[in-house]
Amino acid sequence: MSETPSDLEPGTPLIRLEEVHKTYRIGKTEVRAVRGVTMEVRLGEVLCIQGASGAGKSTLLHVAGSLDTPTKGRVFYAGEDVYAMSEYRRTGLRCRKLGFVFQFYHLLPELTVLENVVLPSLSTWAGLHRYRATRERAESLLRTVGLGDRLLHRPMELSGGEQQRAALARALINDPDVVLADEPTGNLDSRTGEVVLDLLFRLVQERRRTLVLVTHNREVAERCDRNLVLQDGRLA
């Protein structure tokens, strides 16, 4: 994987989607979740994708984040066609360059909080060969998100807000270029959601990283640099 984006100017397109379509087929039923979206995510920006439930936001984020193949169209990461890469390379991109935060946290219940945060690093050389340093980094991230005294707890022993803060630490463990967050406060009460969001913004901005934030909350959208609105699978 090339060493982007340190050699790119802020504002250059980091992720670019060209005429992306995603259609789900279940039996004879077709759901056209994304219908011809062209957009870019620029290095260093906080980009918001807004839209009603069912508008295709999650689908779009997954396609942009190399998690799900588009039915048609192309996705570029730092100029490279993501779905033309080998599976191996694409996995490398996903694990090392991108960090994900989901609405329902998706922490592994049988692992401790610390293990959950360390886990993505095991796909990197440093994670495997510098385990102690990685573990210290995970602990430091968990302290930053206020979970320094919960390292050995299981996710079930944490509140929703705490689980999401652990998920933020996990998203950042490999120091990704981009964090993709899908309604990260959607399952939290408004006060807790605000704490998580403040933390997400601070963590991303301190590191001068790029953030793509999916939300249907207008107040959240107002805090972003740029806003796109998705309606029935198309950009409004």
Ligand X SMILES: Nc1ncnc2c1ncn2[C@@H]1O[C@H](COP(=O)(O)OP(=O)(O)O)[C@@H](O)[C@H]1O
Interface with ligand X, residue 188, by CB under 6 A = no
Q: Is 118 exposed, middle or buried (0-12, 13-18, 19+ CB in 10 A)?
A: buried
The sign of the torsion formed by the CA atoms of 86, 91, 96, 102 equals: positive
Interface with ligand X, residue 24, by CB under 6 A = yes
Instruction: Please state, in angstroms and rounded to a whole number, the distance separating the CA atoms of residues 106 and 183.
Output: 13
- Nearest distance from C-beta of residue 188 to ligand X, angstroms: 17
- Is residue 43 within 8 A of residue 14, CB to CB? The reply is yes
For Mg ion, the closer CB: 57 or 137: 57
Interface with ligand X, residue 66, by CB under 6 A = no
Residues in region 30-49 near ligand X by CB under 6 A:
31, 33
Interface with ligand X, residue 65, by CB under 6 A = no
- Is residue 116 within 8 A of residue 157, CB to CB? The reply is no
Q: What angle do CA 161, 167, 170 make, to 5 degrees?
A: 150
Position of minimal CB gap to Mg ion: 58
- Nearest distance from C-beta of residue 95 to ligand X, angstroms: 22
Interface with ligand X, residue 156, by CB under 6 A = no
Select the span of 24-32, 112-120, 197-205, 220-228 touching ligand X (CB under 6 A): 24-32
Instruction: Please state, in angstroms and rounded to a whole number, the distance separating the CA atoms of residues 207 and 182.
Output: 20
Instruction: Please state, in angstroms and rounded to a whole number, the distance separating the CA atoms of residues 158 and 165.
Output: 10
- Nearest distance from C-beta of residue 216 to ligand X, angstroms: 8
Q: How far is CA 26 from CA 23, 30, 58, in A?
A: 10, 6, 18
Interface with ligand X, residue 185, by CB under 6 A = no
Interface with ligand X, residue 112, by CB under 6 A = no
Interface with ligand X, residue 26, by CB under 6 A = yes
Select the span of 25-33, 155-163, 186-194, 196-204 touching ligand X (CB under 6 A): 25-33
For Mg ion, the closer CB: 57 or 170: 57
Interface with ligand X, residue 50, by CB under 6 A = no
Interface with ligand X, residue 57, by CB under 6 A = yes
For ligand X, the closer CB: 101 or 118: 101
User: Which parts of the chain fold into alpha helices (H)?
Assistant: 57-64, 87-96, 113-118, 125-129, 131-144, 160-172, 190-206, 218-222
Q: Which does 161 bind (CB under 5 to 8 A by kind): ligand X, Mg ion, none?
A: none
- What strands, in cross-sheet order, belong to the sheet with 72-77? 29-42, 13-26, 72-77, 80-81
Q: Given the rule CB under 6 A, which residues bind ligand X? A: 24, 26, 31, 33, 51, 53-59
